[in-house]
Amino acid sequence: TLAARRTLRRAAAAERPAVLALVLAAAAYGLHALVDYDWDFLAVTGPALLVLGCLVAAGRGTVTLRRRPIAAAGIAVVAIAGLYSIGAPWLSERRAAQSAAALGTDPAAAARRAESAHRLNPLATTPLYYWALAEGARGDDRAALRRYEQAVELQPENWETWYLLGAFELDSGRFERACYALDLAYRLDPRGPAGRPGGLLDQVKRRLPGCPA
């Protein structure tokens, strides 16, 4: 906080709104890091480090900028991007949790919240899983299947995406498709649930003798 105050004092009046935005972005990253470890995620930590670098350089006065409003606007854009990269995944998790809570009572609301969670963090698969469950609870199996397939397209090397797709196909009675998905899940993680004795893959094999091991 002391460093932030000094930076704000150094900044020219025209730069202070942008510098304040940077301070808030850095503070948001710090608060988020208290509950979630972000150093492994470049999309989160990269903008935060850029914001911190801008803060260190702000108000030094070593270079005279002729177009301060443009520079300030650029800094503000970076700050907003940093805030979004930190806040969007957190909000997505909240929306996904709300979707899970609504599944048993209001599938339509659960679907809306899961869709919102997906829009906030389109690289995460969990919102898609809840979205699929909500669509299934509403009786729209085609929409549910699209969500599971979307998760597979998003993370094709993740055994879980194939396993959940296979579980859905098995439940829908499409044994050949279930065999394909569950076999891939097993190959990606032989120690995972797909390979357990009596598990879903074994259930498919009993119904479909030609299903690969």
pLDDT tens for 103-117 read 999 999 999 999 999
What residue type is assigned to position 124 of the chain? A
Closest CA to 118 of 85, 156, 89: 89
Tokens encoding 210: 């030609």
Mean pLDDT of the chain: 77
CA 34, distance to chain mean position in Å, is 18
The pLDDT, as a whole number, for residue 91 is 87
The pLDDT, as a whole number, for residue 89 is 84
Q: Which residue has the tokens 């470049």?
A: 42
DSSP 8-state code for residue 157: T
pTM (predicted TM-score): 0.63
Determine contact, residues 138/111, Cβ cutoff 8 Å: yes
The pLDDT, as a whole number, for residue 199 is 95
User: pLDDT digit string (tens) for 69-97?
Assistant: 655 555 555 555 554 555 678 888 999 99
How far, in Å, CA of 78 to CA of 187, rounded?
42
Higher pLDDT, 47 or 136: 136
Q: Percent of the chain, pLDDT > 70?
A: 59
Per-domain boundaries in the chain:
1-102
User: pLDDT digit string (tens) for 132-166?
Assistant: 999 999 999 999 999 999 999 999 999 999 999 99
The pLDDT, as a whole number, for residue 35 is 46
How far, in Å, CA of 143 to CA of 128, rounded?
11
How far, in Å, CA of 134 to CA of 138, rounded?
6
How far, in Å, CA of 161 to CA of 147, rounded?
10
How far, in Å, CA of 141 to CA of 145, rounded?
6
For the residues of 15-34, what is the DSSP string, one character each? THHHHHHHHHHHHHHHHHHH
Determine contact, residues 116/95, Cβ cutoff 8 Å: yes
